[in-house]
Amino acid sequence: MSTATPTPPIEVATDTTRWTGPKAAAFLKALARHGKVAKAAREVGMSRQAAYRLRARAPKFAEMWDWAMREAEARRVEAHAAGRRGPVHPLLARGPVAGQVSGSVSGPRGADGTAQ
């Protein structure tokens, strides 16, 4: 009787060079969330260029891409209409910021809040 120890299963590395169905679906979901091709591609481990190549050769994927971009735009419009944008930093504001005296620029302040 021999008591051979079972060999552990061989782990197969996932292929990061090819598009798979789940990877394409995850890309489209990410694209629908934010509408950024490069960001969505990075989220699934692919490049922006690879995404555009897949779009060029797969008509159904291209159709779903167009839908995802429309969805992302609708989300942006909805968020803008609902006023869900964060506060604007005073240096980036196009006009005066509420609560700030126009033309007043203060320098660094000490721990007690007084100007240095």
Q: Which three-class secondary structure string do you get for the chain?
A: CCCCCCCCCCCCCCCCCCCCHHHHHHHHHHHHHHCCHHHHHHHCCCCHHHHHHHHHHCHHHHHHHHHHHHHHHHHHHHHHHCCCCCCCCCCCCCCCCCCCCCCCCCCCECCCCCEC
How does pLDDT run across 52-94, given as a tens digit for each residue? 999 999 999 999 999 999 999 999 888 877 776 667 777 887 7
Q: What is the pTM of this model?
A: 0.61
Choice among 18-22, 71-75, 81-85, 96-100 with the minimum mean pLDDT: 96-100
Residue 90 has what pLDDT? 79
- Name the percent of the chain lying above pLDDT 70: 66
